[in-house]
Amino acid sequence: MSKKLTILLSTIIVGSMLTMSLSNNVKLDTANAAEGEDKNVIMLMADGMSQEAITLARYYKDAQDGKYGNDTLAMDEIASGATHTAWANGPVTDSAPGGTAYATGNKTNDKYVATSTEDKPLATILEGAKLEGKGTGIVMTCEVPHATPADFTAHTNTRSDYKSILSQQISNDLDVVLGGGIGWKHQYGIENDEEFSNLIDEVKGTIKEEGYDLVETNKDMEKSNSNKLWGMFSDADLDYDFDRQADKTSTQPSVSEMTSKAIDVLNKNEKGFFLMVEGSKIDWAAHANNPVGMISDILAFDEAVKEAVEFAKKDGNTVVVVTTDHGNSGITIGTDAEGFSYSQALFEDTVELFSKAKITEETFKSLISGKTDADIVSLAKEYYGIDLTSEELQNIKENNNNINKVLSLRGKIGFTTGGHTGEDVYLGVYAPTTSKKLTGVVDNTEVNKYMQNMIFNEEKLESLTKELFNNIEDLDKSADTKLEKSEDDSAVVLVNEKTGKTLKLYTNTNKYELDGKVSELTTVMPLIKEKLYVSQEVAQLISTIEKVDNSGATNEESTNGGTINSGTSNEESINSVSTNNEITLNKKPSTITKTGALGAGLLTVGGAGLATVGGALLLRKKKDEEKGMEE
């Protein structure tokens, strides 16, 4: 069998007014920030979590022992204010611009991921932490390329561009990634199940080649001692937590278990870490007007908050920030349904009704598939504690999703929409000292600035954006240096006609090829609207191919400006580049082997050398007759 295995590459007036007006409401004392004791930041995002949904989840927890008022959430202890969630042009945000505000400190357009309204990449707080030498990680219960995890790890103006997002995520050198898989086949232009399965295997191989310990079960996650951990616990999203618990054969970890493991791995870094944790499917349940799903995953998320806060209290150097990107569904406890009255809306007829729920609609509809009426009635009693009426039974038989409507009507739960909403949302902060606790009603961009001050002791992402993301067409180049793009946008090639040297930059990765040798840059190179954005490292590489070599040395030897070192092997790194902004990029050693396969799993090309597999653009290894290497 040929060794030409392939791997994934990419083709693969309200907002601004809020930012200005809300800054005066931010209560933040950073007098001690220069001391720099807060080396860690853990941000937990409950996607789509409205305040009323938190209340419903609290009632569920409180009712388990039959007494009301004696149980609270971990979020209750650290509640500190509320967050405005508007995007650049309106009050109701999509997750992509919502998360971008938290990740970058900027408002942006609908569907944009860590990208400005001008279609330029924005440096994220995770990328900034990585360049500081800190550990970085993300935890989620959805697929990895979904909007919120993408906001911290990738850059695109189209959140559905999973190919580009995943390519950047794999190349962005995170220490920990724990959650779901890569998504669904249609998101990669694939129709055939076998073809998509092959792509998943390719991605897994690439992740391993990046140096990750790839784990796929909760037990393997716990056993891992690796400093670089990737957990892929499903092909797409993880189960709702109630369903995970009900399935005694499940090998998926809970979000709190993933959070705990991520903290354990990242805390090995003496310089500190940044961790983003998302309770992803609260939003999905809200879209479906699924109250049990919302309760399930809010409580699971709250356990993750508990893990983070307990660590922070013991550590003494960690700030925990908890919020959400937007509300969803307009959920209310109380409806305008006929016959509803305050005096008759008793605990046992409303919120207490949900306390017996053990599974969500997703599992229930699979259980009742093909079952008799008696079976359905029995299952509803077993898993929800209710006796179905004949009318309710008929509704469920007509549409097995209707169990949500049955429970909501019984429990007096109302919904205004199946989409996002624009209300202010929960904000909770734990900080080692009260002077560093963010309080009051704040804008989502202010939350990012608070985290920057805590982890960097300054707001530095604006200057870092200028350092990391420059349109390659705007970089200084001699007249002899020509820029060419591949037809499929997988690479940009710069050729200096005078020296004969070539620099190939692989889009949506951190990989470049200089005269036949492939190495890694410090950060990824996003391709947005056919424009490639690169760091100042690339400017140094351009100067290398433009340098006329009069000494007789080979093209493989470098200048002192930050390119491949003279006489070194491909395993050795390029030098760090110091810029006018005095930001030194901490370059990790390259793990490229002379077979042409990168530690990141990217394979070099010969000529065009590109293959399209199932709609996903893949990059192939050079033929050995082209590169003089064994296939």
In the structure, how many helices (H) and strands (E) does the chain have?
21, 25
Q: Which of 402, 434, 466 is the last residue of a domain?
A: 466
**Phi, psi of 513, rounded to the nearest 5 degrees:** -120, 125
pTM of the model: 0.84
Q: Are 172 and 154 in contact (CB under 8 A)?
A: yes
In DSSP terms, which residues pair with 378 in a beta bridge?
Answer: none
Same domain, 393 and 358: yes
326 marked as binding residue: yes
**Phi, psi of 153, rounded to the nearest 5 degrees:** -130, 0
Domain of 474 in residue numbering reads as: 470-625
Residue 226 lies in a domain: no
- Predicted confidence at residue 551, as pLDDT, reads 53
- Predicted confidence at residue 306, as pLDDT, reads 99
Same domain, 392 and 520: no
Residue 319 lies in a domain: yes
Residues of the chain with pLDDT under 50: 1-36, 552-631
Site of tokens 């693969």: 12
Token pair, residue 357, equals 């729920």
Residue 576 lies in a domain: yes
420 marked as binding residue: yes
Same domain, 482 and 518: yes
Residue 378 is among the residues annotated as catalytic for this protein: no
155 marked as binding residue: no
148 marked as binding residue: yes
Residue 182 lies in a domain: no
- Predicted confidence at residue 159, as pLDDT, reads 97
Strand order in the sheet with 213-215: 213-215, 229-232, 176-179, 135-139, 273-279, 40-46, 318-323, 425-430, 79-84, 440-443
Dihedral sign for Cα atoms in the order 508, 511, 514, 517: negative
Q: Are 147 and 159 in contact (CB under 8 A)?
A: yes
47 marked as binding residue: yes
95, 256, 490, 590: which one is catalytic?
A: 95
Each residue of 225-276: pLDDT tens digit? 999 999 999 999 999 999 999 999 999 999 999 999 999 999 999 999 999 9
- Predicted confidence at residue 17, as pLDDT, reads 33
Same domain, 552 and 563: yes
Q: What is the DSSP code (8-state) at residue 207?
A: H
**CA 597 remoteness from chain centre:** 26
459 marked as binding residue: no
Residue 219 lies in a domain: no
Q: Are 135 and 272 in contact (CB under 8 A)?
A: yes
Same domain, 446 and 576: no
Same domain, 48 and 149: yes
Q: What is the largest CA-CA distance in the chain?
A: 93
| Gap between the Cα atoms of 581 and 131, Å rounded | 14
Same domain, 274 and 135: yes
Residue 142 lies in a domain: yes
Closest CA to 405 of 421, 419, 418: 418
Same domain, 451 and 557: no
- Predicted confidence at residue 38, as pLDDT, reads 76
Token pair, residue 405, equals 């409507």
What would the DSSP string read from start to end of 327-389?
A: EETT-EES---TT--GGG--GGGTGGGGGG--S-HHHHHHHHTT--HHHHHHHHHHHH-----
Q: Are 150 and 114 in contact (CB under 8 A)?
A: yes
- Predicted confidence at residue 37, as pLDDT, reads 58
| Gap between the Cα atoms of 255 and 280, Å rounded | 10
| Gap between the Cα atoms of 201 and 197, Å rounded | 6
Same domain, 401 and 483: no
**Phi, psi of 604, rounded to the nearest 5 degrees:** -75, 170
Each residue of 526-569: pLDDT tens digit? 999 999 999 999 999 999 999 876 654 444 444 333 333 333 33
Residue 210 lies in a domain: no
Here the CATH number for the domain that contains residue 50 is 3.40.720.10
Pairing state of beta strands 616-619 and 229-232?
unpaired
CA distances from 171 to 203, 276, 579 (A): 12, 18, 23
Residue 191 lies in a domain: no
| Gap between the Cα atoms of 262 and 177, Å rounded | 8
Site of tokens 């093909």: 370
186 marked as binding residue: no
Here the CATH number for the domain that contains residue 362 is 1.10.60.40
CA distances from 211 to 39, 216, 279, 599 (A): 26, 16, 27, 7
Dihedral sign for Cα atoms in the order 196, 201, 202, 206: positive
Q: Which of 372, 393, 414 is the last residue of a domain?
A: 414
Same domain, 323 and 336: no
Closest CA to 153 of 135, 140, 166, 134: 166
Here the CATH number for the domain that contains residue 579 is 3.30.457.10
Q: Which of 348, 383, 414 is the last residue of a domain?
A: 414
443 marked as binding residue: no
Same domain, 138 and 279: yes
Question: If DSSP codes are grouped into helix, strand and coil, which group holds residue 109?
Answer: coil
| Gap between the Cα atoms of 581 and 610, Å rounded | 38
Token pair, residue 55, equals 């209340």
| Gap between the Cα atoms of 295 and 241, Å rounded | 9
Same domain, 355 and 379: yes
| Gap between the Cα atoms of 405 and 289, Å rounded | 8
Domain count, the chain: 3
